[in-house]
């Protein structure tokens, strides 16, 4: 399609293409032929100039030798028969001097030509200047230059030959183009008419949707193939339309029953969807209950551990106080019998101090354990913010876990500034650290006697804390690492593992602390958890003033 928006007809296209190709070919060939003819004419004229110069120079040898310029002038008059020669000069050469004028010939209708011996070097070969050719040839006698012949001829005959060749070529080109145009019209009719008939048939079928028409055969093999293919397409189209009409009838029959089936299935789908929603809600409730049970189980384990840990110092205190009471009764009986000795009293005082010291140390240790447990238990059961020193909180958490940790040789190192005071929820942090430590002990340090845990606490901005938890355990394989925070994912299924520990950690960080957690781990290269959550930084000086 042309840029103007008009479509070219096939007839016009055939004429334009054939005529354009023919014209281009003829113009190229004619141009090459004309150039060759002009070159040949020019070469022939140059050759004649050289021949005439050769003849004149040979005839002038004797005249130059005997210094007879009159005879040479008469000899040059013969050149009147060669009308294209305009001027001839003969110059004598005397050794040691410049060439001198000897004689000349000028065509009667031409002005006298000035001496040209100064241009000997310029016209050593025939040179065309304006509308003439000029040539200077040396006259030699026994290989010695005795003179020069200057010859100037007109290029009019060359121009006439060129003009004649151009006219002849143009006439031939025009005649050939006319013949080509007539043949193109003939070809146009032969090619275009069958195509136009086929196009008319296509238009009629497209507008009227009457597929009964068929393309006629032609004398052109390719068009016959196209027409046959088009007729086959019409046959298939008719067959397809019949099948479509039959299918539409069947579809209309099925459509009535389909609506009823859709309504029935829609009702059934709504009922199934409602049942699925109820089941999903029950599952969420069960999951929340399991997470709460996990928290309570963790707290219960801590209570049992602390109770066992507190039992030892209290037992030692009771033993020491009982011994002290026995000694006191013995002293009292001797005092009443007035048999009390100074050595006995001194020994009683010494033993009393030792027993009181034992009682104090063990009661103080029990008080510390109970205080730590009380604070951790309060934190775990409380969802409100409080101000605390981060390092002290971690010490309390690890102290409350000491009953479990003392069975292992694992080393836990805390890297936290002592003057870092923050305000946030301490309970989720307690639960997070406990779960991470127990996860390392149960899973990461399995089959390891001495593991290492490092907990790094950094202030990454004015209101954000980063906890980096690193252990050197056996690591987590990639398939499990991708699902580590999903509920009920555990490698200890059937061995006491619920699979809710890391899910609880994720929920506490993302929901309770409004933070984020990422994991980096490779098999046999340990694990690293990075936890970020917002807090409010408290200046220790403010706390000191408040107290």
Q: What is the mean pLDDT of residues 47-58?
A: 85
- How far apart CA 56 and CA 88 sit, in angstroms, is 9
Secondary structure (3-state) at 484: coil
Q: What is the mean pLDDT of residues 500-506?
A: 80
- Which among 528, 486, 500, 535 is positioned nearest to 514, based on CA atoms? 535
Q: What is the chain's alpha carbon radius of gyration, rounded to the nearest angstrom?
A: 62
Confidence of residue 454 (pLDDT cuts 50, 70, 90): very high
Q: What is the mean pLDDT of residues 344-351?
A: 78
| Lowest-pLDDT range of 1-5, 66-70, 347-351, 429-433 | 1-5
From the centroid of its chain, how far is CA 303? 59
| Lowest-pLDDT range of 291-300, 379-388, 454-463 | 291-300
**What percentage of the chain reaches a pLDDT higher than 70?**
83
Is the model more confident about 238 or about 4?
238
Q: Is residue 2 part of a domain?
A: no
- How far apart CA 434 and CA 295 sit, in angstroms, is 10
Q: Is residue 79 part of a domain?
A: yes
Number of domains in the chain: 2
Is the model more confident about 517 or about 310?
517
Q: What is the DSSP string of 91-125?
A: EE--TTS--EEEEEEE-TTSPPPPP-GGGTTTTSS
Q: Summarize pLDDT for 121-130 with one digit per residue, the tens.
A: 888 888 887 7
Angle CA 59–62–68, to nearest 5: 105
- How far apart CA 19 and CA 57 sit, in angstroms, is 56
Q: What is the mean pLDDT of residues 460-484?
A: 89
- How far apart CA 145 and CA 147 sit, in angstroms, is 6
Q: Would you state the structure tokens that stand for residue 350, as one six-digit string?
A: 């010494």
Q: Is residue 488 part of a domain?
A: yes
**What percentage of the chain reaches a pLDDT higher than 90?**
10
Q: Summarize pLDDT for 265-321 with one digit per residue, the tens.
A: 888 888 888 888 877 777 666 656 655 655 565 555 556 555 656 666 777 777 777
Q: Is residue 397 part of a domain?
A: yes
Q: What is the mean pLDDT of residues 371-392?
A: 66
Look at the chain and count its residues. Answer: 547
Q: Is residue 130 part of a domain?
A: yes
Residue where one domain finishes, among candidates 179, 210, 242 = 179
Q: What is the CATH number of the domain that holds 98?
A: 3.30.450
Q: Would you state the structure tokens that stand for residue 438, as one six-digit string?
A: 């127990």
Q: Is residue 71 part of a domain?
A: yes
Confidence of residue 2 (pLDDT cuts 50, 70, 90): very low
The answer on pLDDT for 533 being more than 70 is yes
Is the model more confident about 425 or about 113?
425
Is the model more confident about 402 or about 390?
390
Residue where one domain finishes, among candidates 149, 179, 209 = 179
Q: What is the CATH number of the domain that holds 463?
A: 3.30.565.10
* Residue 507: domain span: 382-546
- Which among 152, 147, 53 is positioned nearest to 107, based on CA atoms? 152
Within 137-220, where are the H helices? Answer: 156-208
The answer on pLDDT for 1 being more than 50 is no
Q: Is residue 399 part of a domain?
A: yes
Residue 304 has a pLDDT of 58
Q: What is the mean pLDDT of residues 437-447?
A: 88
Q: Is residue 258 part of a domain?
A: no
Residue where one domain finishes, among candidates 179, 202, 218 = 179
How crowded is residue 120: how many other Cβ atoms within 10 Å of its Cβ? Answer: 15
Of 1-5, 477-481, 495-499, the range with the highest mean pLDDT is: 477-481
Q: What is the mean pLDDT of residues 436-446?
A: 88
Secondary structure (3-state) at 129: strand
Q: What is the mean pLDDT of residues 431-447?
A: 88
Burial-class residue 532 by CB neighbours within 10 Å (0-12, 13-18, 19+). middle
pTM of structure = 0.39
Residue 516 has a pLDDT of 94
The answer on pLDDT for 375 being more than 80 is no
């Amino acid at each position: 399609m042309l840029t103007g928006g008009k479509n070219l007809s096939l007839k016009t296209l055939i004429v334009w293409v054939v005529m354009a190709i023919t014209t281009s070919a003829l113009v190229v060939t004619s141009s090459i032929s004309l150039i060759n003819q002009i070159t040949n004419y020019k070469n022939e004229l140059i050759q004649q100039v050289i021949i005439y110069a050769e003849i004149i120079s040979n005839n002038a040898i004797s005249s130059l030798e005997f210094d007879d310029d009159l005879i040479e002038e008469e000899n040059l008059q013969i050149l009147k028969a060669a009308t294209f020669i305009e001027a001839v000069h003969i110059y004598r050469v005397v050794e040691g001097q410049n060439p001198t004028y000897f004689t000349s010939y000028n065509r009667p209708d031409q002005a006298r030509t000035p001496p040209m011996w100064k241009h000997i070097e310029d016209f050593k070969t025939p040179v065309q200047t304006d509308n003439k050719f000029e040539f200077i040839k040396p006259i030699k006698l026994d290989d010695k230059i005795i003179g020069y012949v200057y010859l100037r001829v007109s290029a009019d005959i060359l121009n006439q030959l060129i003009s004649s060749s151009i006219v002849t070529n143009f006439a031939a080109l025009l005649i050939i183009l006319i013949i080509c145009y007539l043949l193109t019209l003939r070809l146009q009719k032969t090619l275009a008419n069958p195509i136009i008939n086929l196009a008319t048939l296509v238009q009629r079928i497209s507008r009227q949707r009457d597929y009964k028409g068929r393309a006629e055969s032609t004398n052109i093999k390719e068009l016959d193939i196209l027409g046959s293919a088009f007729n086959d397409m019409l046959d298939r189209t008719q067959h397809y339309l019949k099948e479509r009409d039959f299918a539409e009838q069947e579809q209309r029959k099925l459509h009535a029953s389909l609506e009823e089936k859709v309504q029935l299935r829609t009702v059934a789908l709504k009922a199934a969807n409602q049942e699925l929603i109820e089941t999903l809600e029950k599952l969420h409730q069960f999951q929340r209950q399991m997470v709460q049970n996990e928290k309570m189980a963790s707290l219960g384990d801590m209570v049992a551990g602390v109770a066992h840990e507190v039992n030892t110092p209290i037992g030692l205190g009771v033993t020491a106080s009982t011994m002290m009471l026995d000694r006191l009764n013995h002293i009292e009986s001797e005092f009443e019998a007035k048999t009390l000795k100074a050595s006995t009293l001194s020994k009683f005082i010494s033993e009393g101090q030792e027993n009181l010291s034992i009682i104090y140390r063990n009661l103080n240790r029990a008080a510390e354990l109970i205080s730590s447990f009380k604070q951790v238990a309060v934190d775990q059961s409380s969802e409100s913010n409080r101000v605390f020193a981060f390092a002290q909180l971690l010490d309390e958490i690890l102290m409350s876990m000491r009953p479990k940790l003392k069975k292992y040789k694992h080393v836990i190192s805390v890297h936290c500034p002592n003057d870092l005071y923050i305000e946030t929820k301490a309970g989720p942090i307690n639960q997070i650290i406990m779960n991470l430590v127990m996860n390392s002990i149960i899973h990461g340090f399995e089959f390891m006697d001495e593991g290492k845990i490092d907990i790094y606490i950094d202030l990454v901005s004015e209101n954000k804390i980063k906890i980096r938890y690193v252990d050197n355990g056996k690591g987590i394989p990639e398939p499990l690492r991708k699902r580590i925070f999903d509920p009920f994912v555990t490698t200890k299924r059937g061995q006491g593992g619920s699979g809710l520990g890391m899910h609880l950690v994720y929920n506490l960080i993302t929901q309770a602390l409004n933070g984020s957690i990422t994991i980096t781990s490779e098999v046999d290269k340990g694990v690293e958890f990075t936890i970020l959550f917002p807090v409010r930084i408290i200046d220790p000086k403010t706390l000191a003033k408040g107290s």
